[in-house]
Amino acid sequence: MLELKRLGVVLKPKDGPNGRFAKFNAGMVAENDAVHMLYRWGEKEVPRMDNTAIYHDSPYLKNFISYARLSLDGRLVYDSDEPAIYPTTPLEAKGCEDPRIVPFEGSYYIFYSAYDGTRARVAVAKTTDFECYCKLGVIGHFTWDKDAFVFPERINGKVAFVHRIEPNIQIDYFDSVSDLLDPRSWDGYEKKVESSTVLRRTFDWEKRKIGGGVPPIKTDEGWILIYHGVDSQRKYHVGVALLDLDNPSVVKARLPYPVLSPKTDYETVGHYQGCVFPQGAYVRNRELYVSYGAADENVAIATVNLDELVDELVKYRVNE
């Protein structure tokens, strides 16, 4: 069995005048000799003297997205400690959460969850320099949607969109990002979910639900999709599947076991005990670096040799 090698925590919670702020669930992407990271900064509950709890008000409400930069060997170089993407509309009233970064057609597209206190929706922004961010819109349809991103290149001329309507993972195809964001594209989607579903919860360690994690990584054997699975005890695990290069709605291989499960103190002790939540990755010298949220408190990094991962995947081929 293959297991990701933990490098440890790169971002930890920060104490402030209004309480404790967690830094977790980070997307990342490599550019030249730097790694750009966008992470979720969440305001935590602050205990009162009477053991009840309240949320302190903050100018950026409950959750927002901040920027950090790493070296190519996974060490923290810079942390802005400032909001980069934050609530500006009613659909984001309770927070902007869980960003994934995808280099696509000359820009970096950022897919994050917009939460209004009632429903989570997929929101999209883009940047070219990680200094200025342009919000493009929010995708709305009949129910919750999370854990989203596009493939880093078009598939047969289409924009391939990965997202999660519980409890499984879907892929849908659009002519453009504008079409993806157009509400008309989602008319009647409740009748299409089944035909769009690509990965279903299958194993005990993902019995409750699964969701997209890291934007797809292209290899000669297919697209590697790193995702999360939640077991019946609500613990999170990291799984891996291999999708067909030309038709990623076809699953070529899938590991029957998780490559990372909560084990260390920073994964098992925190706001959400027992959570490992993958969101970003890059490849350096055939080594795959993966960022993940740990216990909804920290950002951690783990690695695996890309060739070894592919070799392990092809041992568990499906749909043949």
The CATH number of the domain where 297 resides is what? 2.115.10.20
Structure tokens at 238: 């990291």
Under 8 Å between Cβ of 18 and 58: yes
Residues 40/25, Cβ–Cβ less than 8 Å:
yes
Q: pLDDT of 114-171, one tens digit each?
A: 999 899 999 999 999 999 999 999 999 999 999 999 999 999 999 999 999 999 999 9
C-alpha radius of gyration, the chain, whole number: 19
What value does the mean pLDDT take over residues 196-225? Answer: 98
- Percent of all residues in the chain with a pLDDT value above 70, rounded to a whole number: 92
Provide the token pair at 150: 């596009």
**What's the whole-model pTM score?**
0.93
Helix (H) / strand (E) containing 68: strand 63-70
Average pLDDT, the chain: 92
Cα separation values, 259 from 2, 5, 147, 270, 283, Å: 6, 9, 19, 21, 17
Find all residues with CB under 8 Å of 80, minimum gap 6, and list them. 66, 67, 68
Q: What is the pLDDT of residues 243-278, one digit of tens each?
A: 999 999 999 999 999 999 999 999 999 889 999 999
CA–CA gap between residue 100 and residue 26 (Å, rounded): 7
Task: Convert the pLDDT of each residue in 1-17 to its tens digit.
Answer: 999 999 999 999 987 66
> From the CB of residue 57, how many other CB atoms can be counted at a distance below 10 Å?
9
C-beta separation of 19 from 44 below 8 A: yes
Q: Are 93 and 87 in contact (CB under 8 A)?
A: yes
What does the pLDDT read at residue 19? 67
Which residue, chain included where needed, has tokens 């999709």? 225
Segments forming the whole domain that contains residue 295: 5-316
pLDDT tens-place string over residues 23-63? 999 999 999 999 999 999 976 543 333 333 223 333 334 78
Q: Is the pLDDT of residue 191 over 80?
A: yes
Q: How many domains does the chain have?
A: 1
CB 302 within 8 A of CB 287: no
Residue 307 DSSP SS3: helix
Name which of 240, 277, 238 is nearest 255 in CA terms: 240
